[in-house]
A and B are shown apart, each in its own frame.
Chain A
């Protein structure tokens, strides 16, 4: 158990809908990262937050957004969902500037 929690574990929704994925980092970790894992694209970095502020952006679509709250949990919002958004979404956390990122168990999103 990495200490990173993600909810929900599974999410099934329809095209055009909006969903929110939640992540709680390990105790003491200030950085949160979101990654998308799909069969054809592998593991891709989406966005990073550090202590409430956006730190880095990767291949994140404009339909997706994220935020980190004062209690350091983070939410990833996915809107106008398309079939291709079906994937595993992982959250990871780390101590400031630390090497190791600890991954949560992921949320499996299925868009029908």
Chain B
């Protein structure tokens, strides 16, 4: 089944702290796992992405950890800033049915100053 489960639904972190958002998937045919960041009134914007042959990818303060055997992946935001307050979506892309993305339910992150 094409499904991606994301947790938590909401997260409050103090400035400078680490934000961690988790996702789990079911379909082992997924071949690409992006994270999108969405600010109110805007469309989702690609933040960082990983392929299943890599266990970790880091870009600045953002890191994806990928556990293929557990079918889980997570986003870590180091030194979280108030400007990181947004909704974050994990997604997964399958090799079939075009290039469609299956999204997780989203996590609303608030970083307190």
Question: Does the CB pair B49–A99 fall under 8 Å?
Answer: yes
Residues of B within 8 A of A44 (CB): 103
Query: Chain B residues near A57 (CB, 8 Å)?
Result: 97
A residues 52-95 with Cβ under 8 Å of B? Answer: 55-58, 90, 92, 94
Interface residue B100 (Cβ < 8 Å from any Cβ of A): yes
User: Which residue of A4, A55, A102 contacts B98 across the interface (Cβ within 8 Å)?
Assistant: A55
- Chain A residues 20-64 with CB under 8 Å of chain B are 31, 33, 42-45, 48, 50, 55-58
- A81 to B7 Cα, complex, angstroms: 32
8 Å CB contact of A106 from B43, B46, B93, B105: B43
Q: How far is the CA of A30 from the CA of B93 in the complex (A)?
A: 18
Query: Interface residues of B toward A: which range?
Result: 20 to 34
| Any B CB within 8 A of the CB of A2 | yes
Interface residue? A7 (CB, 8 A): no
CB proximity to A under 8 Å, residues B62-113:
89, 93, 97-106
- How many positions in chain A have a CB within 8 Å of any CB in the partner chain? 27
Known: A99-B32, A99-B34, A99-B49. A45 touches B43 (CB 8 A): no
In this complex, which of B34, B44, B45, B89 has the most chain A Cβ atoms within 10 angstroms of its Cβ?
Answer: B44
The dominant DSSP class at the A interface is: strand
Q: A102-B46, A103-B43 are in contact. Are A94 and B99 (CB under 8 A)?
A: yes
Distance A31 CA – B89 CA, assembled complex (angstroms): 21
State the CA gap A102–B43 with chains docked (Å). Answer: 9
Q: Are A56 and B97 within 8 A (Cβ)? A: yes
Q: Which residues of B contact A33 (CB under 8 A)?
A: 99-101
State in angstroms the CA–CA spacing of A100 and B46 once bound together: 7
The listed residue (B41, B99, B102, B104) touching A101 by CB distance below 8 A is: B99
By a beta-carbon cutoff of 8 Å, the part of chain B in contact with chain A is 32, 34, 36, 41-46, 49, 89, 93, 97-106
